[in-house]
Amino acid sequence: MSTLGSFEGFQPVALRPDGDDQPSERDSLSTEEGSSGRDSAPGRIARQPSVTESVLYPNPYTRPRVTCRYFVTRPGAMEMAIEDLKAHVAEKMGEAIQGFWLLTEVDHWNNEKERLVVITDNTLLICKYDFIMLSCVQFQRIPLSSICHICLGKFAFPGTSLDKRQGEGIRISWGKSEEQSLLSRWNPWSTEVPYATFTEHPVKNSSEKFSEICSMSSFTAKLVPAVQNAHKTSSGPGRGKGVILSTQPILIETYTGLMSFIGNRNKLGYSLARGSVGF
């Protein structure tokens, strides 16, 4: 009887952890080694697309086992949240809704917070939604006519910061940061910060639905004309000043960042399944 040890060409395979979706070095070299035969030129490495990868992963959206830990991806959770926000806007504001987005807010201490953002005819509505209990916890309303500056760019940090994030974001300002009090600047729970900073939610690439609702480009494309139109039709003291659009680094002034380092690594700002607790 033949055994595995006598099977020619049998190679041991290194297993990866469940959360590791990056291709290993063996994967990237498998096609290169298989193509080095008599017909290949000496000293050249032929690179060919992996047939196995195209068969096993035809869907462009990745990491399903990781993203399913977020309660927002559970069936019906996002739909329930949108219905709740529609009811709130209709009852309290009476304005037409232009769109919903699921984004990550980055506060002035670099803490990530899961947020639902709604643009109406006159208001930017930022909602803290509990996707575990399916209820709205907190609302922040910013009149579109009060928004004075919209900045797009990469995140920047002081040199001593411990938790430096990569990527790009958008900062929406309705006041000057110089006018922010020292107490609110150094208070991690302050709600008197005259701006809001957003980046893409981690579940953006989990499905086609979330790819659209978590899109920063879609949010920006709807926000800018809405703010410009609000400034034109506004009768307030700031009428005619318009909104400043800029592209520059977005500074997050966290000089140590220990609290955000712990919180962001453990995703404390998200409605997340964190495993069983008990014995």
What is the average pLDDT across 5-15? Answer: 44
pLDDT in tens, 79-128: 999 999 999 999 999 999 999 999 999 998 899 999 999 999 999 999 99
CA distance 91 to 97: 13
Q: What is the DSSP letter of 92?
A: I
User: What pLDDT was estimated at residue 248?
Assistant: 96
Dihedral, CA atoms, 251, 219, 214, 113, nearest 10 degrees? 40
CA distance 197 to 166: 14
Q: What is the pTM of this model?
A: 0.73
* Better-scored residue on pLDDT, 69 or 183: 69
CA distance 124 to 133: 24
Scored b (16 or more CB within 10 A) or e, 107-139 reads bbbbbbbbbbbbbbebbbbbbebebeebebeee
User: What pLDDT was estimated at residue 63?
Assistant: 57
Q: Which residue matches tokens 């193509």?
A: 35
Q: What are phi and psi of 259, to 5 degrees?
A: -65, -45
- Half-sphere exposure (Cβ direction) of 67: Cα atoms closer than 13 Å: 17
Q: Which two tokens stand for residue 91?
A: 């009852």
- Residues 272 and 70 sit within 8 Å (Cβ to Cβ): yes
Residues linked to residue 27 through DSSP beta bridges, in sequence order: none
User: What pLDDT was estimated at residue 26?
Assistant: 42
**Total H helices, total E strands in the chain:** 8, 9
Q: Which fold has domain 67-265?
A: PH-domain like (2.30.29)
The confidence band for 153, taking pLDDT boundaries of 50, 70 and 90, is very high
Tell how far CA 161 is from the center of its chain. 21
Mean pLDDT of the residues in the chain: 78
User: What pLDDT was estimated at residue 100?
Assistant: 97
